[in-house]
């Protein structure tokens, strides 16, 4: 299966009540790439997916699959596979009936259909479930059937609308890695929508973060996390410590609780870092403060350290040492994990 490049050129979509869901969106998704569209509800991510699918038509702008303009084509002529949020399996058909539906529509011969159906059942690990009714399936099984059904006609593009949102946490984690493996293996161009940053990071080759119908940032998961384009992206993809700079010193930046190493040329008013980039030290550190809270989270613990700023610092530590409440904590930080944000 090979992918198709998807291009959106200046796509805008407003709804009948006047709210603009997507503002003049330009976007290129390379062939074979998996793009995660991430954002809070109402940010336009689902509308973007539906524009690509052909379930919505842009008011202005064009959609291209490869070199062909598909803006005017309805979904049934775009050759896409889609996994819906609640899977939308046909309750009147059994599992196999659902999977071969797209093949039947395309006039594939019964023998070929049966062959393809067993291929796909095997791909999603449901070999013996072909004759099951949809009502007998668990949530995870339904998700797999929906995926198999979407893939059966060998679509050019695979679209997934919150594919794991309807599952419980443990199952979601497992299916997430399964899905990631599957998408990599197929090499199909895939776009999926999610509000879960962990899912976006695990599955996406690149992530498009949307805010109020506009692109906030389009980058690799690593860049989104480590070099967020603005405060919205930074806060949406993880927790954040902010340091207000009191004054610039020859070797760094003076902030509440100590001095941060800084070798950037610019002299920012605020610098940021992620909670896991603050290291708890035995005695010497860049920052010193008092422990005001400690939460055991299994693999790591989260410490709240008051350094005299408005908010206590968040520190994620894999060190299992237990500190007494109110004890003095020394924290160290590497200069390269500090970043600034344009607001």
Name the 3-class secondary structure at 225: helix
Q: Which residues contact 148 (CB under 8 A, 6 or more apart)?
A: 99, 120, 121, 123, 124, 126
Query: Nearest approach, Cβ of 83 to other proteins (angstroms)?
Result: 9
Question: Contact 99/124 with Cβ under 8 angstroms?
Answer: no
Query: Nearest approach, Cβ of 155 to other proteins (angstroms)?
Result: 9
- For residues 295 and 305, what is the distance between their CA atoms, to the nearest angstrom? 12
Query: What phi and psi values does residue 47 have, to the nearest 5 degrees?
Result: -60, -40
Measure CA 83 to chain center.
Answer: 16
> Looking at beta carbons only, is 146 or 291 nearer to other proteins?
146
User: Which pair of tokens denotes residue 192?
Assistant: 């999926």
> Looking at beta carbons only, is 134 or 234 nearer to other proteins?
134
> Looking at beta carbons only, is 41 or 342 nearer to other proteins?
41
> Looking at beta carbons only, is 145 or 215 nearer to other proteins?
145
Task: Tell me what percent of the chain is helix, strand and coil, each rounded to the nearest 5.
Answer: 30, 35, 40
- For residues 124 and 146, what is the distance between their CA atoms, to the nearest angstrom? 10
Query: Nearest approach, Cβ of 101 to other proteins (angstroms)?
Result: 5
Which has the closest alpha carbon to 295: 287, 282, 305?
Answer: 305
Query: Nearest approach, Cβ of 11 to other proteins (angstroms)?
Result: 19
User: Which pair of tokens denotes residue 66?
Assistant: 């490869």
The size of the chain, in residues, is 343
Query: Nearest approach, Cβ of 234 to other proteins (angstroms)?
Result: 35
Residues 198-236 as b/e (b if ≥16 CB within 10 A, e otherwise) read: ebbbbbbbbbbbbbebebbbbbebeebbbebbebbbbeb
Query: Nearest approach, Cβ of 227 to other proteins (angstroms)?
Result: 36
Query: Nearest approach, Cβ of 224 to other proteins (angstroms)?
Result: 29
**Residue 189 exposed, middle or buried by CB count within 10 Å (0-12, 13-18, 19+):** buried
Q: Are β-strands 279-281 and 270-273 bridged in parallel, bridged antiparallel, or unpaired?
A: unpaired
> Looking at beta carbons only, is 159 or 164 nearer to other proteins?
159
Query: Nearest approach, Cβ of 169 to other proteins (angstroms)?
Result: 24
> Looking at beta carbons only, is 2 or 86 nearer to other proteins?
86
* Region of residue 295 (left: phi > 0; alpha: psi -120 to 50; beta: else): beta
Residues making contact with other proteins (CB under 8 A): 53, 55, 74-77, 79-82, 84, 86, 88-92, 101-102, 105-106, 135, 149-150, 153, 159
> Looking at beta carbons only, is 83 or 303 nearer to other proteins?
83
> Looking at beta carbons only, is 33 or 161 nearer to other proteins?
161
Q: Which residues contact 271 (CB under 8 A, 6 or more apart)?
A: 242, 243, 245, 253, 255, 260, 262, 338, 339, 340
> Looking at beta carbons only, is 80 or 208 nearer to other proteins?
80
Query: Nearest approach, Cβ of 14 to other proteins (angstroms)?
Result: 20
């Amino acid at each position: 299966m090979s992918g198709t490049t998807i291009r959106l050129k200046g796509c805008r979509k407003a709804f009948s009540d006047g709210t603009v869901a997507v503002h003049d969106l330009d976007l290129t998704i390379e062939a074979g790439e998996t793009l995660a569209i991430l954002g809070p509800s109402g940010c336009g991510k689902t509308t973007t997916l539906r524009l690509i699918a052909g379930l919505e038509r842009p008011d202005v702008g064009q959609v291209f699959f490869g070199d062909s303009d598909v803006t005017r084509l309805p979904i049934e002529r775009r050759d896409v596979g889609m996994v819906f949020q609640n899977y939308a399996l046909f309750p009147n058909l059994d599992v196999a009936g659902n999977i071969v539906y797209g093949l039947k529509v395309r006039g594939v011969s019964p023998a070929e259909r049966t062959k393809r159906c067993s291929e796909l059942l095997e791909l999603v690990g449901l070999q013996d479930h072909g004759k099951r009714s949809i009502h007998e399936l668990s949530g995870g099984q339904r998700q797999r059937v929906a995926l198999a059904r979407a893939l059966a006609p060998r679509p050019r593009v695979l679209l997934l609308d919150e594919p794991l949102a309807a599952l419980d946490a443990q199952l979601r984690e497992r299916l997430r890695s399964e899905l990631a493996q599957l998408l990599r293996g197929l090499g199909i161009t895939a776009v999926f929508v999610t509000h879960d940053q962990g899912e976006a990071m695990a599955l996406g080759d690149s992530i498009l973060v949307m805010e109020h119908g506009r692109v906030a940032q389009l980058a690799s998961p690593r860049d989104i996390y480590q070099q967020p384009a603005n405060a919205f992206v930074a806060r949406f993809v993880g927790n954040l410590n902010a340091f207000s700079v009191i004054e610039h010193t020859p070797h760094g930046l003076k902030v509440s609780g100590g001095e941060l190493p800084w070798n950037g040329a610019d002299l920012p008013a605020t610098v940021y870092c992620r909670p896991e980039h603050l290291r708890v030290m035995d005695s010497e550190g860049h920052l010193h403060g008092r422990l005001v809270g400690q939460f055991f989270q299994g693999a790591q613990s989260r410490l709240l350290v008051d350094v005299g700023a408005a908010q206590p610092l968040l520190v994620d530590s894999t060190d299992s040492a237990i500190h007494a409440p109110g004890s003095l904590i020394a924290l160290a930080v590497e200069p390269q994990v500090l970043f600034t944000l344009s607001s």
